[in-house]
Amino acid sequence: MTTPLLSLRGLTKAYPGVVANDDVSLEIGPGEIHALLGENGAGKSTLVKMIYGLVKPDSGTMEFKGASFAPQDPRTARASGVGMVFQHFSLFDALTVAENIALGMENAPAMGQLAARIREVSQSYGLPLAPDRTVGDLSAGERQRVEIIRCLLQDPKLLIMDEPTSVLTPQEVAILFETLNKLQSEGTSILYISHKLEEIRTLCDSATILRLGKVVGTCVPAQTSARDMAEMMVGTALKTPQRSGTQVGEVILELDKLSLPPANDFGMPLRAISLNLRKGEVLGIGGVAGNGQDELLGALSGETTVGNGMITYKGQDLSSLGPNERRAIGLLSAPEERLGHAAAPDMSLVENAMLTGATREGLEKGGMLDWAAARKFADRIITAFDVRTPSAANAARSLSGGNLQKFVIGREVLQRPNVLVVNQPTWGVDASAAAAIRQALLDLAMGGAAVIVISQDLDELMEVSDRFAALNEGRLSPPRPAAGLTVDEIGLMMGGAHGLEAAHV
């Protein structure tokens, strides 16, 4: 290889109590797509933030285009030719596309010229985008295009992408990959972070794997199996969730033309969702975020009340029952957002266990709370689901995302539900913990309960589901047996590429 575009030597960054990056070195050549792999908390984000000038390394050196490189802030990094597409937090909902892009540029031209350039660049890379639309109204895929075009307008030599495909449909992923390949052919290097190993195998030229802040290996993804890469990331052998023969029983939950108006301006209505859920089955519901997942969970859990006869559970009309009444008869749910929705962040795990467990676990007697029993229940969850926390008295906020997720799912699973509805059960959870959560859901189904898994992770849905359906614009596609579904068929069920066209390369 010729002189690398970017080389990192011995980068170390420590935060109080944790070494985020320990002596990390890597090299990226010109026009190379380099993958950065690792579990949550392995230090990927810290590493790219150092390259982008958001975090300063404690020690170690960086070289960019053969010269020493130590960006003081993101502006210097951008000026040198480093662009970054963030996973979160970098768009302004109330501003227009053009304003968002202008904010990320050093010498933004006048708005009129900028709009013309946005149209031009977005067309030539097959990412159509209207400059005057408000970002709050865009879909996840379109938002990502805003970020990519913001970077492309500055002609970057190195593009950093942090989990770009987690919010896209398979068709949108294909378009993104064509764009990235086009960039690569023009000589742009890409540093690509993702959990999705199959994607990395098709896209990336080389990969560096991080574990607990250290480089534990490098590989050529095309020649390494996804399983081997996963095991390098985790450091142990992986267990694939197992299930033995499904016994599907009678219908336990019935939705009849469930409809719900949108809760606010940016909300999604539910449109005539009908389905039958049987005992012992796992129904997977896929779809890109924001297509009605939260609304559906709210309607099933009882947070939002719906019209008469829309939800029937064991022949009983549920429409007028709130969450606690539904819990009492065995319909439980675990929403997506861990901090603030599934758990109260500043309350201890014991208190959080009390919050949803009071009814079914008998933690409340005549209006008085039985804290000793709640503590036992919390400890039971912690043991059964391997939640890593110093004690059950710790605040929910102090747990890492993956550990808290294990806690909130475990809390519902251990309450012996007849029907369990979960949204994004393994979001941000590392591979081994995700496998444990999926196994718990499958075990629950084998015990005769019915499970609805709402998720954006298609691999997960294919692994656990008996039947699969997709939410798109608040409509649910008719459920189909999950076995034998192809990625193309799933993509079409999810609404295809939302009217996008592929890159004209």
Partner 1 sequence: MDLSAINPIILIAALISAATPILLAATGELVAERAGVLNLGVEGMMITGAVCGFIISVNTGSPALGFIMAAVGGAALSLLFAFLTQVALANQVASGLALTLFGLGISSLMGQNYVGIKPPRLPDVNFGPLADIPVLGPILFSHDPIVYVGLLILAGVWATLKYTRAGLVLRAVGENHDAAHALGYKVKRIRTLAIMFGGACAGMGGAYISLIRVPQWTEGMTAGVGWIALALVVFASWKPWRVLLGAYLFGGITQLQLNLQGAGVAIPVEYLAMSPYVVTIIVLVILSADKSRAPGSLGRIFHASQ
Query: Contact positions toward partner 1, by CB under 8 A?
Result: 45, 49, 53-54, 73-75, 78, 86, 88-95, 99, 102-104, 108, 265
- Residue 91 or 353 with smaller CB distance to partner 1: 91
Q: At its nearest, how many Å lie between partner 1 and the CB of residue 147?
A: 10
Q: At its nearest, how many Å lie between partner 1 and the CB of residue 75?
A: 5
One-letter amino acid for residue 425 of the chain: P
Q: At its nearest, how many Å lie between partner 1 and the CB of residue 91?
A: 6
- Residue 101 or 311 with smaller CB distance to partner 1: 101
Measure the CA–CA gap between 336 and 331, rounded to whole angstroms. 17
Give me the DSSP letters along 251-302. Answer: EEEEEEEEEE--SSTT---EEEEEEEEETT-EEEEE--TTSSHHHHHHHHHT
Q: At its nearest, how many Å lie between partner 1 and the CB of residue 19?
A: 17
One-letter amino acid for residue 332 of the chain: L
Q: At its nearest, how many Å lie between partner 1 and the CB of residue 411?
A: 28
What are the counts of helices (DSSP H) followed by strands (DSSP E) for the chain? 16, 23
Q: At its nearest, how many Å lie between partner 1 and the CB of residue 89?
A: 4
- Residue 86 or 177 with smaller CB distance to partner 1: 86
Q: At its nearest, how many Å lie between partner 1 and the CB of residue 78?
A: 8
Spatial strand order in the sheet of 316-317:
270-278, 251-260, 311-313, 316-317
Q: At its nearest, how many Å lie between partner 1 and the CB of residue 285?
A: 29
- Residue 90 or 400 with smaller CB distance to partner 1: 90
Residue with token string 């195998």: 201
Burial class (CB in 10 A: 0-12, 13-18, 19+), 286: buried
Give me the DSSP letters along 301-349. Answer: HTSS---TTSEEETTEE-TT--HHHHHHTTEEEE-S-TBTTTB-TTSBH
* Phi, psi (rounded to 5 degrees) for 10: 60, 35
Measure the CA–CA gap between 457 and 285, rounded to whole angstroms. 10
Measure the CA–CA gap between 412 and 327, rounded to whole angstroms. 10
Measure the CA–CA gap between 166 and 426, rounded to whole angstroms. 13
Residue with token string 């227009």: 96
* Phi, psi (rounded to 5 degrees) for 460: -60, -45
- Residue 15 or 371 with smaller CB distance to partner 1: 15
| Residue 352 tokens, joined | 């959080």
* Structural contact between residues 302 and 321, judged by C-beta atoms closer than 8 angstroms: yes
- Residue 1 or 94 with smaller CB distance to partner 1: 94
Q: At its nearest, how many Å lie between partner 1 and the CB of residue 324?
A: 31
Measure the CA–CA gap between 410 and 107, rounded to whole angstroms. 51
- Residue 53 or 126 with smaller CB distance to partner 1: 53
Q: At its nearest, how many Å lie between partner 1 and the CB of residue 359?
A: 34
- Residue 273 region by backbone torsions, left for phi larger than 0, else alpha for psi between -120 and 50, else beta: beta
The secondary structure of residue 419, as a DSSP letter, is E
Measure the CA–CA gap between 39 and 234, rounded to whole angstroms. 7
Q: At its nearest, how many Å lie between partner 1 and the CB of residue 398?
A: 14
